[in-house]
Amino acid sequence: MTASCCENSVDSKCSLVGLAPLEAVLFDIDGTLCDSDPLHHQAFREMLQEIGFNGGVPINEEFFIENIAGKHNDDIAARLFPDDLQRGLKFVDVKEALFRRLAKEQLKAIDGLYKLKKWIEDRGLKRAAVTNAPRENAELMVSILGLSDFFEVVIVGSECEHAKPHPDPYLKALQMLNVSKEHTFIFEDSVSGIKAGVAAGMPVIGLSTRNPENLLMEAKPIFLIKDYADPKLWAALEELDKKEGRGKNEA
């Protein structure tokens, strides 16, 4: 299976029809609802450079993807400050405050998100946001995007027994929404998040927002999309609608 499947028709490996009747759609937040990774990268780069991390050489995108993107803050702190975890934990807390200031000024939705939002609302599906971000960040981003009333629940990794890449946050979302994994799918943009969704037993559609496609595919999403306007996504949703007996334009 490649990232290009579903371009002209819905490949069996990329199909969502087995989920019918669909009950719920779950979303990660960072990089999935909004292209927030550049803001996180900026915050980490500025703050790490200030303290002379890596000899004062700014971290590059490759370092950010390998050590930071999609990971829980406890794990990031341990990677960046292996000899002083408490310092690392304090550092990431300050970094998150900087990120929130940047987000208020610069955060934007992924292309096509509001079209997909309408599709989900028109079908009366349940929905949850499931994230490794701190709750304060998560609720701020959801609010900036105008989605506070859209999501029935926001699940935060640190409030579960284990954060992503463990399945716990997604399993908790199923429990909170009272839906079945056999009738739910997930949108994710990171290797950690895709692994969590797959481990929870659900198909995951990956967004190639920032992370390399080859790394995302190794985590086994059913297919990748560029954004929510991607024809591959809408071909799959149209097939699902047909399976459920809906017309192409039927709400």
Instruction: State residue 159's pLDDT score.
Output: 96
- Mention every residue, 6+ apart, whose C-beta is less than 8 A from residue 244: 20, 21, 22
Instruction: State residue 102's pLDDT score.
Output: 95
Instruction: State residue 247's pLDDT score.
Output: 64
- From CA 170, how far away is CA 167, in angstroms rounded? 6
223: its two tokens: 């297919």
The three-state secondary structure class of 62 is helix
Residues of the chain with pLDDT under 70: 1-14, 247-251
pTM for the structure as a whole: 0.88
DSSP class of residue 128? E
- From CA 17, how far away is CA 3, in angstroms rounded? 19
Beta bridge partners of 127: 25
Cα–Cα nearest to 219, from 203, 235, 237? 203
| CATH for the 12-35+110-243 domain, from 3.20.20.140, 3.40.50.1000, 3.40.50.2300, 2.40.128.20 | 3.40.50.1000
Active-site annotation, residues: 28, 30
pLDDT single digits (tens) 127-163: 999 999 999 999 999 999 999 999 999 999 999 999 9
